[in-house]
Copies of this chain bind each other. A is one copy, B any other.
Amino acid sequence: MTGHPAPLSETQTADAGLRARAQRVVPGGMWGHLNAARLPEGYPQFFASAEGCRVRDVDGREYIDFMCSWGPILLGHRHPEVEAAAMAQAARGDCLNGPGEVMVELAEDFVALVPHADWAMFQKNGSDATTSCVTIARAHTGRRKVLVARGSYHGALPWCSPSVVGITSEDRAHLLHFEYNDVESLRAAVDQAGQDVAAVLVTAFRHDMGRDLELPTREFAQAARAACVRAGAALIIDEVRAGLRLDVRGSWEALGVRPDLSAWSKAIANGHALAAVTGNDQFREAASRVFVTGSFWCGAVAMAAARATLRIARETDVPGHIRAMGLRLREGLALLANRNGVAIRQSGPPQMPLMLFDADPEARKGRVFCSTALRHGAFFHPQHNMFLSAAHRSADIDEALEAASHGFRAVRELGG
């Protein structure tokens, strides 16, 4: 990695200037998961452009991007075919008095691609999709309780937000909790819900912030499916974060488990704002009765982008490619850690990896590692799962590993 300018002093940078302006007109300078205050020292808040697997901040510093906009970028930033499809649609129209033909085509694409899906509906946020799934499950069953894994993220609306600030207890009155991958705890929650269980809502894998990622066990997935069949409840997979990266057919397909409803978003339109619910025929009638809608949900441009994204993801085996790139990254990181005598743990699917340091309760090592690697041109995250894209090639991974080697040396120098 060459050509990275020395870090500018905080007060000289365009980023610092924008942060100061933002402090005046945006509460706290930034909100939500993109607030850089949550990131290690030196991370930029503001970005100027991106191309492929490279993102550039407002000070012109370029990074190999392992966050992919926190998931939406599956094929690489500004993918030519996706953008061409989007622009062709934009030349005709986007937000009209009703959907375009592309909505039907996209629903047909989902039904053809996803084995559990007999139908699809579209929204804008991942939270829209998870909320729609829960509403459909309640409409179908006439019941109220929704079973969720403790610590799983399903969006930031009052009923599912990880924060309790401004939230009332009634917003979560009908949530019951189990432990991810713990069949006994799931059964206990089903028992607790009794005759009132509407749904089991579960993320495609366990990707809670700051702890090792966990793939679902076959036993757990099958138990969840069987429990829903017995209870007449909906099995809902929250594919918002993982969708298309593990398996384009649905993340649990290889486990032999199909949900009744799935919530999709993030990657499905390669950065264009779109979410989707897919469901089976059992839930079709309920889905036609609920009233869920939004001003921009039929925007045709994002749907055209999604059609291109789904096609490319399927035709070029994107999950296979990003898995290979993730494994290359994982092996390289393991080697570097070992060389530097630093103990790390890597977890999760290689497509969405997480690296944590042993004996690092406050993520001090993780933050030093990331800050150092960032200065050398790799944009990692110390606690949140990362994301690979189809634009990452072996040479990019190797370049990122060179940046990571500086990070490991910095951690080694910390001692401990």
Contacts and interface: CB of A to CB of B under 8 A. Distances in A.
A47 B93 contact: yes
A172 to B, nearest CB: 9
A47 B125 contact: no
Given A71-B295, A121-B31, A158 B173 contact: no
Contacts of A55: 93, 96-97
A230 interface: no
Interface string A281-299: 0001111111111111111
Interface string A263-289: 001100001110000010000111111
Instruction: Count the copies.
Output: 2
Contacts of A135: 158, 165-167
Nearest to A283: B27
A127 interface: yes
A98 interface: yes
Interface in A146-201: 156-159, 161-163, 165-168, 170-171, 173-174
B139 A96 contact: no
Contacts of A212: none
A14 B45 CA distance: 48
Contact of A124 (B73, B124, B170): B124
Given A156-B291, A291-B156, A138 B125 contact: no
A299 B374 CA distance: 23
Nearest to A69: B95
Contact of A72 (B44, B95, B173): B95
A50 interface: yes
B124 A31 contact: no
A273 B48 contact: no
Interface in A61-88: 65, 67, 69-73, 77-78, 83, 86-87
A103 B32 CA distance: 14
Contact of A173 (B134, B168, B240, B296): B168
Interface residues of A, number: 110
Contacts of A168: 138, 144, 173-174
Given A27-B121, A120-B25, A294 B126 contact: yes
A46 B292 contact: no
Interface of A: 14, 18, 21-22, 24-28, 30-34, 36, 44-50, 55, 58, 65, 67, 69-73, 77-78, 83, 86-87, 90, 92-101, 103-104, 107-108, 110-111, 118-121, 124-128, 131, 134-139, 144, 156-159, 161-163, 165-168, 170-171, 173-174, 240, 265-266, 271-273, 279, 284-299, 302, 379
Given A22-B104, A28-B287, A163-B291, 13 more contacts: A24-B119, A26-B104, A34-B293, A46-B99, A47-B98, A50-B93, A70-B97, A71-B295, A72-B296, A126-B294, A127-B294, A138-B167, A165-B289
What 9 pairs between A and B have smallest CB-CB spacing?
A32-B293, A28-B288, A139-B166, A163-B291, A273-B296, A27-B287, A135-B166, A27-B288, A47-B96
9 contacts: A26-B103, A28-B287, A31-B288, A34-B97, A77-B96, A95-B273, A138-B166, A158-B159, A165-B291
